[in-house]
């Protein structure tokens, strides 16, 4: 019994240094947590599979940081602040130790950046691709969470950052698009969770753009229209903020920007009386008004520069 088998050594070497105080050195099969008084806990989970959500050649540091960030993005959309996470990792037995070391280094870098720690998890072998699952925990002042359901006709549709870079980055990594500066691929690899932007006193509804702008806007419409006569959305393609790199790709890629996933910007419904305050918030995160919610069916209309309605092949991305 003096030799620890491989699983325990792997955890001790790569993951114990990441443990939050609440995880008791990952030695207890569980973490123990008391949320601060007057706060509720916010929980979310996302999985990433090699070959589906990331490419086998992607640097493990970036895979780790993307996994954390897509989950942090869910907290950002709720107006929550992050506390920590649990991670389960299934990897082939032949996965080199260097992969785990680089993966853990990526986690460590973003733990420091976001002030969070590892609460626990599990490692196992798999005959299949590397499969990662992360449960994120955050807190929000009680009653101050922002939900999907608050969009109403007349509210402004706002989005953070720029839209479409991640989908174009994937195209670039697949050799379908030039990416001379690497900016597009960088956005695909490393989203920027918009923590701190979404405030319940100004934003009535929010989600993060993970399945494509148009599809996710449809989610806000459906959630907002329940018991409410229905809520649709009208946006103008020309107003959707695109980076210099995305604009350089040319008009043929506009539809990809509008329907591609993985941007992890926040999409918000802002009541008209709060729009000036929201626009004036003191933050470096860009915010752009791209349209408004309208009465009626939960449809998303995208107008082109001539005022016509664009036909889009599909609203967004489904992982199943």
Of residues 217 through 276, those in contact with a second copy by CB under 8 A are 218, 221, 223
| Sequence-separated (6 or more) residues with CB below 8 Å from residue 73 | 191, 193, 194, 208, 210, 264, 266
Select from 12, 88, 199, 279 the one that contacts a second copy (CB under 8 A): 88
Strand ranges across the sheet with 287-295:
205-208, 266-270, 156-160, 287-295, 231-236, 300-303
| Sequence-separated (6 or more) residues with CB below 8 Å from residue 68 | 85, 107, 110, 111, 114, 116, 134, 136
Select from 55, 109, 135, 183 the one that contacts a second copy (CB under 8 A): 135
Question: Taking CB under 8 A as the rule, does residue 76 contact a second copy?
Answer: no
Q: What is the DSSP letter of 272?
A: G
Select from 46, 58, 234, 275 the one that contacts a second copy (CB under 8 A): 46
CA distances from 260 to 142, 210, 311 (A): 34, 8, 15
Residues belonging to the chain: 320
Task: Compare residues 102 and 213 and give the one whose CB is closer to a second copy.
Answer: 213
Q: Which stretch binds a second copy (CB under 8 A): 57-65, 138-146, 237-245, 250-258?
A: 138-146
Question: Taking CB under 8 A as the rule, does residue 320 contact a second copy?
Answer: yes
What is the C-alpha to C-alpha distance for residues 216 and 133, in angstroms, rounded to an integer?
Answer: 22
Site residues for a second copy, window 97-116 (CB under 8 A)? none
What is the C-alpha to C-alpha distance for residues 166 and 168, in angstroms, rounded to an integer?
Answer: 5
Select from 67, 68, 86, 249 the one that contacts a second copy (CB under 8 A): 86
Q: Which stretch binds a second copy (CB under 8 A): 3-11, 108-116, 156-164, 184-192?
A: 3-11
What is the C-alpha to C-alpha distance for residues 80 and 93, in angstroms, rounded to an integer?
Answer: 37
Task: Compare residues 78 and 289 and give the one whose CB is closer to a second copy.
Answer: 78
Q: Which of 259-271 are b and which e, b meaning 16 or more Cβ less than 10 Å from the residue's Cβ?
A: bbbbbbbbbbbbb
Question: Taking CB under 8 A as the rule, does residue 28 contact a second copy?
Answer: yes
Question: Taking CB under 8 A as the rule, does residue 277 contact a second copy?
Answer: no
Q: Which stretch binds a second copy (CB under 8 A): 101-109, 137-145, 180-188, 196-204?
A: 137-145
Question: Taking CB under 8 A as the rule, does residue 6 contact a second copy?
Answer: yes
* Nearest approach, Cβ of residue 258 and a second copy (Å): 12
Task: Compare residues 51 and 276 and give the one whose CB is closer to a second copy.
Answer: 51
Question: Taking CB under 8 A as the rule, does residue 304 contact a second copy?
Answer: no
Select from 186, 200, 279, 299 the one that contacts a second copy (CB under 8 A): 299
Contact 103, 14 (CB under 8 A): yes
* Nearest approach, Cβ of residue 22 and a second copy (Å): 8
* Nearest approach, Cβ of residue 112 and a second copy (Å): 22
């Amino acid at each position: 019994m003096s030799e620890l088998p491989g699983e325990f050594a792997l955890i001790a070497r790569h993951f114990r240094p990441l443990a939050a105080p609440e995880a008791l050195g990952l030695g207890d099969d569980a973490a123990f947590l008391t949320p601060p008084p007057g706060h509720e806990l916010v929980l979310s989970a996302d999985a990433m599979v090699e070959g589906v959500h990331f490419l086998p050649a992607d640097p493990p540091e970036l895979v780790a940081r993307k996994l954390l960030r897509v989950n942090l993005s869910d907290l950002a959309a709720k107006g929550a602040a992050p506390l920590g996470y649990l991670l389960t990792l299934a990897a082939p037995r032949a996965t080199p130790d260097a992969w785990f070391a680089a993966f853990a280094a990526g986690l460590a870098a973003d733990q420091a950046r976001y002030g969070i720690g590892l609460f626990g998890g599990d490692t196992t072998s798999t005959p299949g691709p590397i499969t990662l699952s992360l449960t994120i925990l955050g807190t929000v002042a009680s009653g101050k969470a922002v939900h999907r359901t608050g969009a109403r006709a007349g509210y402004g549709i706002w989005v953070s950052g720029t839209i479409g870079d991640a989908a174009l980055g994937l195209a670039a990594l697949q050799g379908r698009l030039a990416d001379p500066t690497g900016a597009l691929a960088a956005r695909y690899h490393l989203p920027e969770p918009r923590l701190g932007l979404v405030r319940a006193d100004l934003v009535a509804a929010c989600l993060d753009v993970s399945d494509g702008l148009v599809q996710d806007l449809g989610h806000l419409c459906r959630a907002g229209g329940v018991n409410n006569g229905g809520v649709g959305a009208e946006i103008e393609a020309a107003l959707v903020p695109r980076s210099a790199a995305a604009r350089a790709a040319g008009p043929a890629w506009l539809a990809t920007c509008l329907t591609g996933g993985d941007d992890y910007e926040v999409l918000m419904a802002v009541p008209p009386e709060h729009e000036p305050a929201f626009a004036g918030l003191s933050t470096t995160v860009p915010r752009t008004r791209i349209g408004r919610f309208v009465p009626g069916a939960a449809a998303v209309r995208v107008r082109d520069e001539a005022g016509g309605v664009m036909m889009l092949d599909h609203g967004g991305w489904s992982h199943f």
